[in-house]
Structure 1
Amino acid sequence: MAATQTHSYAHLLPPSWKGKIAEWLKEDCPSFDWGGYVVGEDTKRATLWCKSEGVLAGVPFFDEVFKQLECTVEWKYKEGDYLSSSDGKKVKVAVAEVRGPSRKILLGERVALNTLARCSGIATASRKFSDKARQAGFKGIVAGTRKTTPGFRDVEKYGMIVGGVDMHRYDLSSMVMLKDNHIWSTGSVSNAVKAARSVCGFSLRIDVEVQSHAEAVEAIEAGADVVMLDNLVGDDLIACAKKLRADHGSTHKFLLESSGGIDVDNVAEGGHVDNSIDIISTSSIHQSTKHVDFSLKIDPSS
């Protein structure tokens, strides 16, 4: 009998992530914990409340904060669940319970809540964006970008995955992306692609940002794996993509990506959705994204 494999998004996280949480705790309490002195070591129970609609994401980070502080967490919902009001009134959902010494619950409170709120906000925005694209008939890949917060990329990319979108490249080493500055610095699209391929080998894709149909053709003929039609929209975008498919699809293997100014309000109406496009990439799901509102309240009777 074949073994049943259980998949968890937490299994994606690199070995370094727990060390980052230790640094966040250190940052938040670099010296004396005056409030901790006041409340002491009595064991308490605290309830994690969700107070606005959204996708629950960031559970491993929340858990690890309290694990490092010798507290336990018991969840009432699964990661990826959509939290909302059951009666159409103000959202107030008991999501989890934290148990441990009162001073340690409060020591981890802000780090845990900030991380969960940010991650859940990105997951929520990602799901809404993806759903809007699917409703408009798009069957390709919806992806985030590398425009993440320094030091917080694990959390933000993780939120994209929980929200159901592709996280695009994780960092500069994950895929070769040649943008306008690379092309201007080397003199041409062909020069940039040739130089990149000479060192990255067969195992990395090369994604080239182009500004016109002519540059797209040059990128395809130079061997680009992905051609990003940057800031092209509407009829211009779709006409360009269809012509590239018709003229070069039988002789070259490539993906077409649409990017630049795409958000949940225009993804369906702004001429970005057409199945001649393979990938829609956006930074709107993680930049200036509204957080999901959480609070942690100690039960005075516990």
Structure 2
Amino acid sequence: MSSQHASSLSHLKLSTLIRSYLEEDCPGNFDIGGYTVGSDIKTAHLYLKSSGVLAGVPFVNAVFKELECTVKWMTSENLLPETKKYIPQTAIEGKSYTYTERPILLATITGPANSLLFGERTALNILSRCSGVSTVSNRYAELAKDWSGTIAGTRKTTPGFRLIEKYGLLVSNVDTHRLDLSHMVMLKDNHIWSHGSITLAIKKARSGCGFTSKIEVECRNLEEGLEAGEAGADVIMLDNYIGCEVENDAREIKEMYPGVIIEVSGGITEESLEEYLQPSVDVISVGKLTQGYECLDFSLKIQRE
């Protein structure tokens, strides 16, 4: 199975990243567990054990490609395999039914037994986290499906794991936002305080980035937003706003500077999201997508002959 988003990944970066993860798990010269099982060709089954969105397929493929194993997927990314089914509990509850979890077979992986076990934990770590990001992102995307704007992530990612977490956003059709500091200039409060004013900070930033990069400015109130618009900001972030206050300030800024993009960020949860889904807001960025996600449960089982 090929992933819809796999082509967005650099093969060189992917290979380098996966090798670093494998070397982290076995930095020495010996894998005694692998020596114990040997190198006979075996087949392992990859199971999903909790409900959620599957994401991270290209990374798992890359793990086992490095170890000369082959992966055959039974399902696609961005699907929600249902791990729960009704089981009759007639002996206890008469004719009522209850939920029970059942593992879902996602893929078969074939290769030397020691290679399968070498890659097991790295692959499962990647899948559980990438799928966790995609699962929570999917919930936000569903809540905002009737809104014309964009739900986005942030740069609040796990060091060394950003590419995978950003990929998890993509799978659930959530915007990645900036991938790193070179993607768009963002002037936050510390930048502005260090340089003296919003206007001066934007002028200095523009002299460095030229016309090829957008400049975004973090603003705490309408006055700062209007100053940023006047100074030529491309994106104005209304930060830590109360939901009921967003639309008035966003609309006023848009009336003065129609071409500006309005982003809202800061402490937005699933429960409060609806308050920010306003017509004058273009982007809502949510740190919880890559900070507050719950990992999904996967397992890999070598099949007995």
Q: Normalization by structure 2: what TM-score?
A: 0.92
Name the % identity.
47
Counterpart secondary structure, 2:78: coil
Equivalent pair of 1:209/1:230 in contact (CA under 8 Å): yes
Alignment correspondent of 1:90: 101
Counterpart secondary structure, 2:68: coil
| 1:81 Cα offset (Å) | 1.6
1:151-300 alignment to 2 at 5 Å? 151-249=160-258, 253-268=259-274, 271-300=275-304
Structure 2 residue runs of 5 or longer lacking an equivalent are 87-99
Alignment correspondent of 1:49: 47
- Counterparts of 2:68 and 2:256 in 1: how far apart (Å)? 62
- Counterparts of 1:49 and 1:60 in 2: how far apart (Å)? 17
**Correspondent of 1:80 among 57, 61, 78:** 78
Structure 1 residue runs of 5 or longer lacking an equivalent are 1-5
Equivalent pair of 1:53/1:91 in contact (CA under 8 Å): no
Letter in 1 for 2:205: A
- Counterparts of 1:204 and 1:236 in 2: how far apart (Å)? 29
- Counterparts of 1:160 and 1:247 in 2: how far apart (Å)? 33
Would you say 1:27 and 2:24 are equivalent positions? yes
Letter in 2 for 1:85: T
**Correspondent of 1:61 among 51, 55, 59:** 59
- Counterparts of 1:13 and 1:221 in 2: how far apart (Å)? 38
Alignment correspondent of 2:132: 121
Letter in 2 for 1:259: S
Counterpart secondary structure, 2:263: strand
- Counterparts of 1:7 and 1:66 in 2: how far apart (Å)? 16
Equivalent pair of 1:109/1:296 in contact (CA under 8 Å): yes
Counterpart secondary structure, 2:204: helix
- Counterparts of 2:257 and 2:61 in 1: how far apart (Å)? 50
Alignment correspondent of 1:13: 9
Letter in 2 for 1:275: P
Alignment correspondent of 1:3: none
Equivalent pair of 1:139/1:275 in contact (CA under 8 Å): yes
Alignment correspondent of 2:95: none
Equivalent pair of 2:154/2:178 in contact (CA under 8 Å): yes
Letter in 2 for 1:205: K
Change (3 A) 1:20 1:7: closer
Change (3 A) 1:7 1:85: closer
Counterpart secondary structure, 1:83: coil
Instruction: Note the alpha carbon deviations across 1:141-191, whole angstroms, 9 max, x for none.
Output: 110000111111110111100011000011000110000001001111000
Change (3 A) 1:147 1:238: same
- Counterparts of 1:60 and 1:235 in 2: how far apart (Å)? 41
- Counterparts of 2:116 and 2:101 in 1: how far apart (Å)? 26
- Counterparts of 2:102 and 2:180 in 1: how far apart (Å)? 36
Would you say 1:107 and 2:118 are equivalent positions? yes
Equivalent pair of 1:208/1:227 in contact (CA under 8 Å): yes
